[in-house]
Amino acid sequence: MTAARPGGRLRNILGGSAGNLVEWFDWYVYSAFALYFAPSFFPKGDLTAQLLQTAAIFAVGFIVRPIGAWVMGVYADHHGRKAGLTVSVSLMCAGSLMIAFAPTYAQAGLLSPAVLLLARVIQGLSVGGEYGSSATYLSEVAGRERRGFWSSFQYVTLIAGQLLALALLVGLQVGLGEQALESWGWRIAFAVGAALAVVVFFIRRRIAETESFTNVAASEQRKSSGALALFREHPREALLVMALTAGGTLAFYAYTTYMQKFLANTSGFDRATASRIMTVALFMFIALQPLAGWLSDKVGRRPLMIAFGTAGLLFTYPIFVALEQTRSVTTALLLVIASLVIVTGYTSINAVVKAELFPGHVRALGVALPYAIANSVFGGTAEYVALWLKDAGHERWFYWYVTAIIGVSLITYVRMRDTKHASRILED
């Protein structure tokens, strides 16, 4: 059974998207609740020092993502997108369970952060494989005329996962209070993530395989998928994915996961207020994704990426400086929303752009591995670099760093072909 039939398309898109939502909920719970569980694993030092140590482990999760992207990308190219999605959510469930029941530093000493580190490594392997499999699945299952629109739901669900993590945080802040949440309440979030992953495991077992993979599997001249083959046969496309990802992923993590900490640790808002600002902003961010994806089906992918690169280059530094100085919740919310409007030009269509660059036999790996490498270098280290520069007394250098990397990606957007008109997804 394939996902190409119109009657089953929506069902399979929703099934694949639901799994992606839970994957990213589990991933972002760590960042959303770091303000509360950091003292349990790293009791010494002030808040910045504790967040710096949790950010280091957050970055380690990104370092192993290329390994997950490589292994799971090859697996998905050989055994199917559906199989890759099922394995990735199983790994995420295991990592969430480990954190939910991890001992504190007071209970187990250095074993405590070691368990946290191992759990994030497992989750990093999971997310490394998830991105390529889900981006490929959603791009292949969508029809040619609405591929930008339907593939945008990868980031709709990615952001929804982050939003649900923040919404759960706000709910627990209200229901439990700060003291209980810091003592033990943060464990609830990881337990919820593990339970949802079990549900998604069974959902993903019921979705259909894509027509693109079915055709590749049936080919008598089927080519193999592997990292060496990818960079040997498609070096330009692989390097292009890394270059276009760098600025987009750094901006995304600076404007979203780090922004919550920035509002609390630099702007001076209390933790609950920072969480609420980000919850409202991310809700609006979700609504922008399908609109921008739909627009890319009309005008092309390249104009949207150029718009992101130009606006990011011009406005990243002013937005962060303004957020430093404001004490108004409304002003902070509007500034955060402005940054998210800017990055929508990348987030809404980056999955389909990458999928359209590669032929079917190497598509999952081609999307996943170069992206994971760039994401590890720039996205995964965003929080650590920001906090390290703040700790060193040069916080504004981070704003220039984000601006510069966006500028590098802008050059790539200007020079590349529009994949809407040169897509290598041949079906439908």
**Distance (Å, whole) CA 32 – CA 35:** 7
- Considering the chain, what is the average pLDDT of its residues? 86
Which of 239 and 48 is assigned the larger pLDDT? 239
Which residues are CB-contacts of 238 (< 8 A; sequence separation ≥ 6)? Answer: 230, 231, 366, 369, 370
Q: What is the pLDDT of residues 3-21, one digit of tens each?
A: 445 446 777 777 777 777 8
**Distance (Å, whole) CA 23 – CA 25:** 6
Looking at the DSSP bridge assignments, the partners of residue 209 are 2
Residues in the chain: 428
Q: What is the pLDDT of residue 328?
A: 96
The residue-averaged pLDDT of 111-124 equals 89
Q: What is the pLDDT of residue 225?
A: 63
Hey, what domains does the chain have and what are their CATH numbers? 14-213+232-415 (1.20.1250.20)
Contact criterion met (CB below 8 Å) for 122 and 91: yes
Q: Where are the alpha helices (DSSP H) in 42-80?
A: 47-63, 65-79
Four-point Cα dihedral 360, 81, 364, 21, nearest 10:
140
Q: What is the pLDDT of residue 3?
A: 46
Q: What is the pLDDT of residues 197-245, one digit of tens each?
A: 898 888 887 787 777 777 767 664 556 667 788 888 889 999 999 999 9
Q: What is the pLDDT of residues 370-386, one digit of tens each?
A: 998 998 889 878 988 99
Q: How confident is the model at residue 2 (pLDDT cuts 50, 70, 90)?
A: very low
Four-point Cα dihedral 118, 18, 350, 72, nearest 10:
40
